[in-house]
Chain A
Amino acid sequence: GESVGLHLPTLSVQEGDNSIINCAYSNSASDYFIWYKQESGKGPQFIIDIRSNMDKRQGQRVTVLLNKTVKHLSLQIAATQPGDSAVYFCAEEVNSGYSTLTFGKGTMLLVSP
């Protein structure tokens, strides 16, 4: 999962396995969350988002789960592929009338063929 320190935690999986990347967010007032994927040498790209009035949201091969009680967010990737290897960041936002995204430190996912 995400770490307060700058060194990235790493999750290593085999191709075809399901991956779960965790994020502990900090602000109980956050009401919107996004997962980003950053491939080597590129900027982060949007994967999926979820509002705080939802517990689960599914996309193509990805599912985001939100547990507001313990301020925990997870990203599940089904049938992980080598192309999924990247750094994954969660971001949280508080509805303060304008956008104030706060990013977590990231988790590196390594998928072995």
Chain B
Amino acid sequence: GAGVSQSPSNKVTEKGKDVELRCDPISGHTALYWYRQSLGQGLEFLIYFQGNSAPDKSGLPSDRFSAERTGGSVSTLTIQRTQQEDSAVYLCASSLGVVEGEAFFGQGTRLTVV
């Protein structure tokens, strides 16, 4: 597609359920980022994928959070046993992975845990 696509755009889930959030990066982009943004707050880094390198998972808040990127393209962020504090907008971004490469963001997935 022309831009970064995220699905679903909105997700309401019950506390304790698992959720999967999907990100389709721009074709050819080797770098992919996941961020979390709570209402009225800044971007909280979660995880970074670059090509075939081991991902930088330093931002994942707990072991309930995991992400994978299949074939260097589509990425899935999984949150297990969701908690109310997981409610936020989850943003995905991709870039060419080269230096001075602009990152393009998707519209985000708004997750609400009830």
Interface residues in chain A, defined as those with a beta carbon under 8 Å from any beta carbon in chain B? 3, 6-8, 32, 34, 36, 41-46, 49, 51, 87, 89, 91, 93, 95-106, 108
Cβ of A101 and Cβ of B95 under 8 Å apart? yes
Cβ of B43 and Cβ of A98 under 8 Å apart? no
Provide 25 A-B residue pairs closer than 8 Å at the C-beta atoms, listed in order of the A residue: A6-B38, A6-B41, A6-B44, A7-B40, A8-B42, A41-B107, A42-B107, A43-B93, A43-B106, A43-B107, A45-B105, A49-B102, A87-B42, A89-B42, A93-B99, A98-B50, A98-B51, A98-B97, A98-B98, A98-B99, A99-B96, A99-B100, A100-B50, A104-B42, A105-B42
Instruction: For the complex formed, measure the closest distance between the CB of A76 and the CB atoms of chain B, giving whole angstroms.
Output: 20
Mostly, the B contact residues are: loop
With A43-B91, A43-B108 as given contacts, are A97 and B42 in contact (CB-CB < 8 Å)? no
What residues of B have a CB within 8 angstroms of the CB of A98 in the complex? 30-31, 50-51, 97-99
8 Å CB contact of B100 from A32, A43, A44, A89: A32
Cβ of A51 and Cβ of B100 under 8 Å apart? yes
Total interface residues in chain B, CB < 8 Å: 31
Interface residues in chain B, defined as those with a beta carbon under 8 Å from any beta carbon in chain A? 4, 30-31, 33, 35, 38, 40-45, 48, 50-51, 91, 93, 95-108
Interface centre among B41, B50, B98 (most CB of A within 10 A): B41
